[in-house]
Amino acid sequence: MRTLWYAGLLWLAGIVLFACQSGDLNVGQSVINPQELTVQSVDSVTIQTSTVMRTDSFLTSGDANIAVGYWNDAQVGKQSAQSFAALDYPGNSLVSQTNLRLDSLVLELGYSFTYGDTTSAFDMSVYRLSKPMPAQVYYSTSTIGYDTKPLMQNTFVPHQLSGTRLVQMRVPTDLAQGLYDKLISGEIADNITLNDFLAGFAFISKSTANTFVGFTTSPTVSGMRLYYHDTDVNKTAATLLFPITSLHFTKLQNDRTGTPLSALKNRSDAVSSRLTDRTTFVSVGAGLQTRIEFPYLNGFFRPETFADLNRALLIISPVRRDLLDNNPPPVGLQLYQTNNQNELIATIPGGTTGSDVAGAGYSIDRTALLLNDAYTIDLTYYIGQIIKKKALSQPLLLTIPSSSTGFTVKSLLQRVTLGDQLRPNDQVQLKLFMTSGT
């Protein structure tokens, strides 16, 4: 009978909280009078946030894209992206041809994404690698030697949409003619002989605007394209693309010198949001995560008439200018249990039953006059266990979840700034909805 009474109480509490739902409000009145139930909303739970360091290297070879660019933030520091790629030898029938003429050799890179400023000029230089790249896996911390003088250079305004646009740079004539002659003579006939002649390229930007440009490594789009024509009466034009598909990687470098986050020396270090303009940060490629703590939740006072926790929502607000900026927050964030070393221990149970993972996708209210966006994480089960003294509140880490194949180059570059509980706008809040008797 006690089980039946408790089930009826929870069912009626749901009716009070979600009055818009359909159902017969008279059902269950013989158990408890619904007029004796009230729903209380509490959003004053203390939340402490800080930024912590996650130093790691990430596999970037084999990714569908390479990236180049630079980012500078007064709170976070500097980040640069450089890329390296070798050329693949394409099958062809140029050997011993005498009726062909070289037109040009052009490096062509197809846009994949742009992140950040797309209004300022972007400077990109291409350097010749000092020696062939070994066939191995490469990480975000790997590097390859390259010449000190750039082979090619181009300044352009990045396009926000990829489409079929290309960044093109003409290869110097002497190098183009040398490659063409060795193709005709058969001296270059495979990847080994091609890379012995031209080991590959390093792509580096010296621009200071906050911009990252991603280029596809599709074998039909990006690479070095040879333009030539037949010397017959029709002068038929043709091309041959040397892709950069098989061997490439992106290198990331971070420098927090002179910023509040320069205090992050060890995994156990944390910089309070009080020291970073009431904000914290999440950026996998920059090695940053947000630590969230509810320091007084273990001693949360439950009213004597407390019936149950209906909903607990952690609302996390990004700090953004407007919807038109080209550095959108990550599509999703996830909470993990952590320790004093700020390690990812385990996922946090989410939803009302704890069967879900505590995470959320980025959402925007596009009908609002002002920017209204947030990550809303359902922590009903997790917070309920703490309030009922069945579990202790543990420090949490908020970060970008990785897929089964790890992080992409694009996801490594994405970043988000999050407001803390005392920031004038874009605050983090824990909202509790509780049912109590009168």
H-only helix segments in 263-401: 380-387
The pLDDT assigned to 21 comes to 38
The pLDDT assigned to 370 comes to 76
Helix (H, G, I), strand (E, B) or coil at 220: coil
pTM for this structure?
0.86
Write out pLDDT tens, residues 351-391: 999 999 999 999 988 777 777 899 999 999 999 999 989 99
On the question of pLDDT at 260 being above 70, the answer is yes
Write out pLDDT tens, residues 42-58: 778 999 999 999 888 99
The pLDDT assigned to 342 comes to 95
What residues does 124 pair with on adjacent strands? 154, 205
Given pLDDT bands bounded at 50, 70 and 90, which one contains residue 406? confident
On the question of pLDDT at 31 being above 50, the answer is no
> Average pLDDT, stretch 186-193?
96
Candidate from 161-165, 396-400, 421-425 with smallest mean pLDDT: 161-165
DSSP label at residue 134: P
Other beta carbons within 10 angstroms of residue 291's beta carbon come to 21
Write out pLDDT tens, residues 46-94: 999 999 998 889 999 989 999 999 999 999 999 999 999 999 999 999 9
The pLDDT assigned to 11 comes to 41
Helix (H, G, I), strand (E, B) or coil at 9: helix
Rounded to the nearest integer, the mean pLDDT of the chain is 88
